[in-house]
Amino acid sequence: GYPRPRGLVSSYQDFEGNGRLMNVSDLTIHSAALFSGNAGIIGTSIDFATFLEGLMAGRLVNRETLRWMLDTEDSGPFGLGLTFKNTPFGEAVGHSGADTGVLSEVRFWPEGSVTMVLLSNGGDSGLPEKLFLELWEELMSVVWGEADTRSGSA
Of the pLDDT bands very low, low, confident and very high (cuts 50, 70, 90), residue 153 is very low
Give residue 24's pLDDT.
84
User: Which pLDDT tens digit goes with each residue over 23-59?
Assistant: 888 777 766 655 555 556 778 889 999 999 999 999 9
3-state secondary structure of 85: strand
CA distances from 83 to 44, 46, 97, 123 (A): 20, 19, 11, 24
Regarding pTM above 0.85, the answer is: no
Average pLDDT over residues 112-141: 84
Report the amino acid identity of residue 74. D
Please answer whether residues 98 and 129 qualify as being in contact, where contact means their C-beta atoms are separated by less than 8 angstroms.
yes
Report the amino acid identity of residue 103. L
Calpha distance 121→98 (Å, rounded): 9
